[in-house]
Structure 1
């Protein structure tokens, strides 16, 4: 599991995290004998760490009350885990925390001994974390307030905006915050619906923590509930379409709700999310400008089906109303 020096440091970390820790628990966590735990404790005492203990059955250890060692000692794996975790924040849709993550990374670097700092820096430079498709930017401050409410088991109030832009006031007992499929969700009991529900954080507005408290259910698996719920919903597609018309000419014709419209190549790049691809395809055709579908592939398939239906309808119109160039002429031969 660890080399002996790492086991000694682990004993110190466990003692700092708990008021008292039994020798049996330390032995189990470190996968060593109780006698070996006694040697690790003695080593800490030799280093000047005031570890107090009582012997015998049920013996336990603790740090002298009031003693606190700053957490400046990290193993290489611990330091790398922290550094990569800070880098990964933006891939959880929390770009607003990027400055804080950079500052925390700088502080981490200052706490490491020079060889370890160089090692972590080299490993960071050797790793690239690509952005996952479909990651939705989430308000970090809103997430922080939500987590505060989860910790305190307090009801939250917010306005929730549906896919169609309709807003309803909600009061929810949130059991867990869950990140799944590039989005953050709140899972809990909705007072309005009188049932468990899940809510996307990017559709919440004006979240506030209420005075009302609740008792969360025991052993509730919010992730499993969310997966089961989402499997019953129509898929939400991430759409990226180039329109041969500048944004200014599309003003008033393209809804700004959950839609990103930016200039690109003499036209406009439209990015949005939709469940109904056929409805969106009809909307694009109604804009009356040339376009190119970059994603998703399913949208190109929808346009292909529409083109086939249009061709069939046009052919049927021609057969019914256009006699053609040979109509009324005697048959050849």
Structure 2
């Protein structure tokens, strides 16, 4: 349920909220044995927290009367930066961290003085952060292991699936983890290729941290390298679509990732580079406006296949097989 450090903190929170808490209740809440609860209490005592215990049947724990942890003190700007940072976390594709972000936000609210808490809550309610439709969900546990390796300058091993579906096994000295354009990337030295490379985290499989270490380059700008590398990559598909909608209606709904938008003929010209044409076709349909596909021909073929599926579904039938065209 929790790692040991989180359980120790949970014991402290329960003791602060209650006058006394029995060992049996702590064991039940933490899903551990009474002996383990004793170890957690001993850990708090080692940290200087005056936890008192009553042994025997019905034994209980309490904080020494009059003891209170010193409150955390934040300025208004510090509190707002923390609150907005927790809001922004929800738009990084790390959905597994959403409950932790909500819990941290609640703890922050309890920590702040009443006047500052009301001010921060009012400011939070006045802010809306846009979630890009191109954010790619990312495994938070994988990111945590990767960051552990970056911090310890340790080589990582993982399986990787390329955009073409090719699977390889990689050992990489990761210099930085970078979030760009709705995706998480690892940037570092690839032992297989003998060169610097970037890897999308959502394409990694089975990442493990190895014992081998490395010396990272000094003053290496991973974000600049990633931007240059992605710009230099040959586009998978060059897309050109005219949308029958004014720019203001689509503001915030179209990703800027490898995308150019400009007014044209009372509507909007969208030119983009994309790998997944079927996903892009579904995105266009979801905009709710008329559009014209000027290229590539493969995108028009995708819409033809989607039309066939829709016709079958509308007639109440079952689409048994809808093969994509064979690669040339």
TM-score of the superposed pair, with normalisation by structure 1: 0.53
Please name the residue that 1:227 is paired with. Answer: 227
Residue number in structure 1 paired with 2:119: 119
- Which protein is bigger by CA-based radius of gyration? 1
Q: Using a 3 Å threshold, how does the CA distance of structure 1 residues 130 and 287 change in structure 2: closer, same or farther?
A: closer
Contact 2:277/2:299, CA 8 A, preserved across alignment: no
1:38 equivalent in structure 2: none
Matches within 5 A, 1:95-244: 95-235=95-235
Question: How many residue pairs are counted as aligned between the two chains?
Answer: 195
- The residue correspondences of 1:259-270 to structure 2 (distance < 5 A) are none
Tell me if structure 1 keeps the 8 A contact 2:277–2:302.
no
- Please state whether the residue corresponding to 1:98 is helix, strand or coil: helix
Unaligned runs of 5+ in 2: 1-68, 240-275, 287-294, 312-328
Deviation (angstroms), 1:182: 1.1
CA distance in structure 2 between the partners assigned to 1:214 and 1:100 by the alignment = 32
Match of 1:156, SS? strand
Q: Structure 1: which 5+ residue stretches go unaligned? A: 1-68, 240-257, 270-275, 293-333
In structure 1, the partner of 2:301 is 282
Matches within 5 A, 1:301-320: none
Closer, same or farther: CA 197–129 of 1 in aligned 2, 3 Å: same
Secondary structure of 2:145's aligned partner: helix
Write the mapping of 1:21-40 to structure 2, written as runs, cut at 5 A: none
User: How far apart in 2 are the matches of 1:124 and 1:153?
Assistant: 37
Contact 1:177/1:187 (8 A) holds in 2: yes
Counterpart Cα distance in 2 of 1:184 and 1:71: 36
Asked if 2 retains the 8 angstrom alpha-carbon contact of 1:150 and 1:174, the reply is yes
* Aligned match of 2:88: 88
CA RMSD of aligned residues (A): 3.0
Q: Which deviations, in whole Å up to 9, do the C-alpha atoms of 1:192-246 show, x marking residues without a partner?
A: 000000001111111110111100011111111111101111346799xxxxxxx
Preserved CA contact (<8 Å) 1:176 1:186: yes
Deviation by residue 1:274-310 (Cα, 9 ceiling, x = unmatched): xx95445435535661769xxxxxxxxxxxxxxxxxx
Q: Is the 8 A contact 2:142 2:207 kept in 1?
A: yes
Following TM superposition, the consecutive aligned residue runs of length 4 or more in structure 1 with deviations greater than 6 angstroms are 236-239, 258-261
Provide the secondary structure at the position in 1 that maps to 2:117.
helix
Name 2:15's counterpart in structure 1. Answer: none
How far is 1:155 from its partner? 0.4
SS at match of 1:157: strand
Alpha-carbon distance in 2 for matches of 1:133, 1:238: 19
Pairwise CA distance, 1:123 = 0.8
Q: Structure 1 pair 128/144, CA: closer, same or farther in 2 (3 Å)?
A: same
CA contact (8 A) 1:134 1:238 kept: no
User: 1:90 Cα shift?
Assistant: 1.6
> Contact between 2:278 and 2:302, CA under 8 Å: does it hold in 1?
no
Tell me the CA shift for residue 96 of structure 1: 1.4
Q: Please give the alpha-carbon distance, in whole angstroms, between the structure 2 residues aligned to 1:287 and 1:135.
A: 23
Conserved 8 A contact 1:83-1:124: yes
CA distances 1:49-88 after superposition (whole Å, capped 9, x unpaired): xxxxxxxxxxxxxxxxxxxx95700001110110110011
Cα distance in structure 1, aligned partners of 2:123 and 2:156? 41
Cα gap change, 1:136 to 1:260, in 2 (>3 Å): farther
Other structure's SS at 1:92 match: coil
